[in-house]
């Protein structure tokens, strides 16, 4: 596919196979694509029937198969396998290519003769519909004490296997039988394998790998899908020296692993997506992706108690986003791997050593995923998730915030107006998400009209949100209108006093806020800071203030003031794809307040223009002050019609990078200290108006 920019293009739910990996998609929105063999019946002779096990089946955004639907034949009638000793092995041996073996819920399938189930065909093994308990599969063929373990499945050339709704026990630690070391052994002779799918399964008590693909004669595996499954007391998926095309690990839990959860090294260049997974007590690296230059995305995951590198990626095309790390070794990443929206914090599992990884109501993982849900495997937060519709009106949002349980999601109506006339601030003391209803065409509008009548000299401006101890806040798809008039003597005079600060920390000696995230919002017409985290009357450090992460994406800020971050413990601050227009003060002022700062793809116009605090000198647009910073990145942005002092001011020793930034009609002063500066230009950006 080759597209040009500006065509409003969308590419979704498309399967590619044996075609160029070149992507010439310009600015198209690309989702849900995969690279996998569609398993056509006989394409050379024009038969494109999708065999059972084809990754194209059910992969359309309408739930149908991909491609021309004439080739999506119905799956074969399942073969019922009765429980007992040897019945599953016999059924596997007798099954035709593409067969579906259906097992009885809650029954045990074992073998006292088979040391492995050999797979050399396309096969599905599934639980019967409506099963209340998973069928249990064990191998009891080798007495305890033997040094030769069993392997549940042995894959020969031509194998593909789909497993759904099953319970596999490798019997590690049994007093009667020698347990399994590997769940799936790929034939060392270099097998070619199509699809491995593990969905809705429980695997436990394996001594070694879930997939053993670490072979000197590399096997080839097209696709591995691990979805909505749990792995207890085992190891991970090993593909050292294997050719793997695609890996998806999603909505799954890995608990008490004595080796890596996933490893690939010196093989092919697979596409890897690891999303909404929980990893706990991994006695090695969590994810190890080496020597392959892979396209890797790891997002919405929790990693706790990983003894070595929690994630190692040495290829140049990786993304790690919206992940929580706790009691683990640091990451070990190639310099070009993009890391955003991560935090180091206690996920607050209920009883993790007993496999209870449910999230406590005040867990910082709640609401921190890029889809507004909790991080990690969703099964551990389902009992917490509550969507609460909030009707428009005066006081309704305040009441909903007060009544919300930790982790709740307040959903505001399309275009609704939410005002507050009785209280000067909405106080948040718990993890909370406030967002527009899905599919809203017009942002809901928030206004605080509590300070009446209008009196600029009264000094009693309201706020929007105050964040208390133990809170976190995520806003999505909203408009916050402070009501600040555009002129000093408005006519007619407003009926209420404008909002000054949009977000403020509760100023106590010890306040810890996990994160503030603002996505796709319009914030305008306020008379003071977007974020205020210090007391302007103190001008000194409040040592107990913690705001761990600040992430702002796809937002517009008009006619307002700075992000003020001073004397607060902050590990990550990101502004991405945002516009800042008509800021008389700094856009960002950070002092002794953080470690990693990222500003990417932002537009600044008419900012930092007035003489406010410094005698005879206007403020900068971006000011980072102090020696706490370890990484400051300012990239891909425009700064126009701004400060006559210096658009950016940095101090030495901050690990600063300024690259691909356009400056126009702003001061030529460079106060960048020892920053690495590349690819900047001074030119008119040719804004429309």
Q: Tell me if 256 sits within 8 A of 227, measured CB to CB.
A: no
**pLDDT on residue 469:** 86
Residues 591 and 538 in one domain: no
Whether residue 183 is contained in a domain is answered as: yes
Mean pLDDT check: name the lowest of 111-120, 191-200, 498-507.
498-507
Backbone angles phi, psi at 44, to 5 degrees: -60, -35
Spatial distance between the Cα atoms of 203 and 128, rounded to a whole number of angstroms: 18
Please, which residues have CB within 8 angstroms of residue 22's CB and are 6 or more apart in sequence? none
CB 468 within 8 A of CB 511: yes
83 found inside a domain: yes
| CB 138, CB 176: distance < 8 Å | no
Convert the pLDDT of each residue in 408-425 to its tens digit. 889 999 999 999 988 889
State how far the Cα of 178 lies from the Cα of 150, in Å rounded to an integer: 7
Phi-psi region of 501 (alpha: psi -120 to 50; beta: other; left: phi over 0): beta
Q: Which pair of structure tokens corresponds to residue 252? A: 């799954």
- Identify whether residues 498 and 641 lie together within a single domain: no
Mean pLDDT, to the nearest integer, of 554-577?
82
* Same domain, residue pair 224 and 94: yes
Q: Are residues 478 and 403 in the same domain?
A: yes
Rounded to 5°, angle at Cα 23 from 48 and 312: 105
For residue 307, is it within any domain? yes
Phi, psi values for residue 43, rounded to 5°: -65, -30
Report how far residue 253's alpha carbon sits from residue 262's, in angstroms, rounded to the nearest whole number: 13
Q: Rounded to whole angstroms, how far apart are CA atoms 568 and 547? A: 7
Q: Which is more confidently placed, 556 or 670?
A: 556
What rounded mean pLDDT belongs to the chain?
A: 83
Q: Which DSSP string corresponds to 551-587?
A: EEES-EEES---EEEESSB-SEEEEES-EEEEESS-S
Q: How far is residue 444's CA from residue 426's CA, in Å, rounded to a whole number?
A: 16
Whether residues 325 and 261 fall in one domain: yes
67 shares its domain with 83: no
Whether residue 371 lies inside any domain: the answer is no
Tokens read off for 624: 């980072």
pLDDT of residue 383: 64
Kindly state whether residue 375 falls inside one of the protein's structural domains: no
- For the record, the structure tokens of 367 come out as 């609401």
| Backbone phi, psi, residue 397, to 5° | -70, -40
For residues 205 and 328, membership in a common domain is answered with yes
Residue 228's region, left for phi above 0, alpha for psi from -120 to 50, else beta, is left
Domain annotation covers residue 501: yes
244: in domain: yes
More confident residue, 567 or 297: 297
Please answer whether residues 493 and 452 qualify as being in contact, where contact means their C-beta atoms are separated by less than 8 angstroms: no
- Tell me, yes or no, whether 20 and 119 share the same domain: no
- Does position 2 have pLDDT exceeding 50, yes or no? yes
Instruction: Say if residue 220 is in the same domain as residue 110.
Output: yes
Sign for the pseudo-dihedral over CA of 589, 594, 597, 602: negative
**Total domains in the fold of the chain:** 4
Q: How far apart are CA 423 and CA 460, in angstroms?
A: 12
Which pair of tokens denotes residue 379?
């099964």
My answer on whether 554 and 581 are in the same domain is no
Q: How confident is the model at residue 374 (pLDDT cuts 50, 70, 90)?
A: very high
What is the rounded (10 degree) CA torsion for 324, 329, 334, 337? Answer: 0
Residue 401: its H or E element: helix 396-403
- How many residues comprise the chain? 689
pLDDT tens-digit readout, 631-660: 899 999 999 988 667 888 888 888 899 999
Mean pLDDT value of segment 439-445 = 90
The 3-state DSSP class for residue 177 equals strand
Residue 373 lies in a domain: no
Q: Which domain holds residue 508?
A: 386-559
215 and 305 housed in the same domain: yes
Q: Are 109 and 144 spatial neighbours (Cβ–Cβ below 8 Å)?
A: no
Separation CA 81–CA 138 (nearest Å)? 15
pLDDT at site 508: 66
* Alpha-carbon distance values, 243 to 42, 288, 413, 511 (Å): 24, 15, 49, 50
Residue 583 pLDDT more than 50?
yes
Pair 256, 401 in one domain:
no
CATH number of the structural domain spanning residue 245: 2.160.20
Q: Is the pLDDT of residue 562 over 80?
A: no
């Amino acid at each position: 596919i080759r597209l040009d920019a500006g065509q409003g293009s969308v590419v979704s739910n498309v399967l590619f196979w044996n075609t160029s990996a070149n992507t010439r998609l310009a600015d198209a929105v690309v989702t849900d694509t995969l690279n996998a063999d569609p398993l056509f019946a006989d394409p050379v002779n024009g038969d494109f029937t999708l065999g059972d096990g084809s990754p194209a089946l059910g992969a359309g955004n309408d739930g149908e198969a991909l491609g021309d639907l004439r080739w999506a034949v119905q799956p074969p009638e399942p073969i019922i396998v009765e429980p007992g000793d040897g019945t599953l092995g016999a059924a596997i041996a007798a099954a035709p290519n593409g067969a579906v073996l259906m097992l009885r819920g809650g029954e045990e399938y074992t073998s006292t003769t088979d040391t492995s189930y050999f797979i050399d065909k396309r096969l599905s093994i599934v639980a019967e519909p409506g099963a209340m308990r998973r069928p249990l599969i064990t191998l009891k063929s080798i007495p305890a004490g033997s040094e030769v373990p069993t392997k549940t499945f042995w894959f020969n050339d031509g194998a593909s296997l789909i497993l759904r709704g099953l319970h596999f026990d490798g019997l590690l630690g049994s007093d009667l039988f020698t347990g399994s070391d590997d769940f799936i052994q790929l034939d060392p002779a270099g097998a070619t394998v199509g699809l491995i799918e593990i969905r809705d399964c429980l695997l436990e008590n394996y001594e070694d790998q879930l997939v053993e693909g670490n072979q000197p004669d590399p096997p080839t595996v097209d696709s591995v899908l691990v979805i909505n499954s749990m792995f207890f007391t085992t190891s991970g998926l090993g593909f050292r020296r294997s050719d793997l095309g695609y890996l998806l690990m999603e909505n799954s839990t890995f608990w008490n692993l004595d080796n890596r959860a996933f490893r690939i090294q010196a093989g092919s260049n697979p596409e890897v997506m690891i999303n909404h997974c929980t990893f706990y007590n991994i006695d090695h690296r969590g994810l190890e992706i080496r020597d392959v230059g892979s396209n890797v995305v790891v997002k919405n995951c929790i990693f706790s108690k990983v003894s070595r590198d929690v994630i190692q990626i040495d290829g140049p095309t990786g993304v790690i986003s919206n992940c929580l790390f706790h009691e683990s070794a640091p990451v070990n990443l190639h310099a070009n791997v993009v890391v955003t929206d991560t935090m180091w914090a206690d996920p607050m599992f209920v009883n993790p050593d007993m496999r209870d990884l449910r999230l406590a109501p005040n867990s910082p993982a709640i609401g921190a995923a890029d889809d507004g849900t909790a991080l990690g495997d969703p099964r551990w937060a389902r009992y917490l998730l509550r969507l609460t519709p909030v009707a428009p009106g005066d006081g309704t949002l305040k009441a909903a915030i007060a009544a919300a349980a930790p982790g709740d999601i307040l959903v505001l109506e399309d275009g609704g107006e939410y005002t507050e006339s009785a209280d000067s601030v909405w106080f948040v003391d718990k993890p909370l998400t406030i967002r527009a209803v899905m599919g809203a065409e017009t942002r809901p509008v928030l206004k605080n009209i509590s300070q009446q009548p209008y009196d600029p000299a009264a000094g009693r401006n309201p706020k929007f949100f105050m964040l208390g101890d133990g809170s976190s806040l995520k806003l999505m798809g909203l408009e916050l209108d402070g009501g600040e008039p555009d002129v000093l003597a408005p006519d007619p005079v407003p009926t209420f006093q404008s909002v000054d600060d949009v977000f403020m920390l509760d100023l106590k000696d010890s306040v810890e806020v996990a994160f503030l995230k603002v996505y796709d919002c319009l914030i305008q017409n306020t008379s003071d800071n977007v974020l205020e985290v210090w007391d302007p009357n103190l001008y000194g450090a409040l040592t107990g203030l913690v705001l761990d992460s600040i992430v702002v994406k796809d937002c517009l800020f008009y006619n307002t003031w700075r992000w003020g971050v001073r004397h607060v413990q902050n590990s990550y601050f990101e502004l991405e794809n945002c516009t800042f227009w008509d800021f008389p003060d700094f856009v960002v002022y950070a002092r002794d307040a953080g470690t990693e700062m990222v500003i990417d793809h932002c537009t600044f116009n008419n900012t930092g223009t007035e003489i406010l605090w410094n005698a005879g000198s206007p403020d900068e647009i971006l000011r980072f002050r102090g020696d706490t910073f370890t990484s400051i990145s300012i990239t891909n942005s425009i700064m126009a019609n701004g400060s006559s002092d210096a658009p950016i001011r940095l101090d030495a020793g901050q690990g600063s990078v300024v690259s691909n930034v356009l400056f126009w009609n702003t001061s030529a002063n460079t106060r960048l200290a020892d920053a690495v500066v590349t690819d900047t230009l001074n030119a008119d950006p040719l804004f429309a108006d």
